[in-house]
Amino acid sequence: MSIESNKEIVRRILEYDGARLLKEDGYRNSPYHSATYMDHGSLGDSNLEQISQYNLALAQGFPDFKFTIEDMVGEGDRVAVRYRFDGTHTGEYMHIPPTGKKVFIKNQGFFLIKDGKLEESWRISDMLNFLQQMRIFL
């Protein structure tokens, strides 16, 4: 696959199809993720089922969310992205009752694409700032 094709897969996951897929099943049936997908992120290592459960909770807590890509570069089978999550906390999220607050999370990710599918990712999210925005931690 070309670098541009790999970047398009990541773009589709985050901006185009990501919201719909995430809300439907948390990525369980995503055409962009391999069955052996593994995420190494702020929550620790998560397989496709685990990340799907987290994503469904995220979509429930922030139903109006969107991802916005701020920077993207690719080389070989890897794509690096700086992106943000924006949403309004109108549903329960991780046992936190709705606050009604508009929040954002800054994220950075490295994505490994194999055979046209996302195989592995390494993501870092600014969760402390996110929780401070909801007034969970001051």
Fold of 3-133: Nuclear Transport Factor 2; Chain: A, (3.10.450)
The DSSP secondary structure of the chain, one letter per residue, reads --HHHHHHHHHIIIIISHHHHHHHHTTTT-TTEEEEEEEEETTEEEEHHHHHHHHHHHHHH-TT-EEEEEEEEEETTEEEEEEEEEEE--S-BTTBPP---EEEEEEEEEEEEETTEEEEEEEEE-HHHHHHHTTS--
* pTM of the model as a whole: 0.87
Hey, where are the domains in the chain? 3-133
pLDDT per 10-residue tile (average), the chain, 138 residues: 92 80 79 94 88 87 93 97 95 91 95 96 91 77
pLDDT of residue 28: 84
Position 23 scores a pLDDT of 76
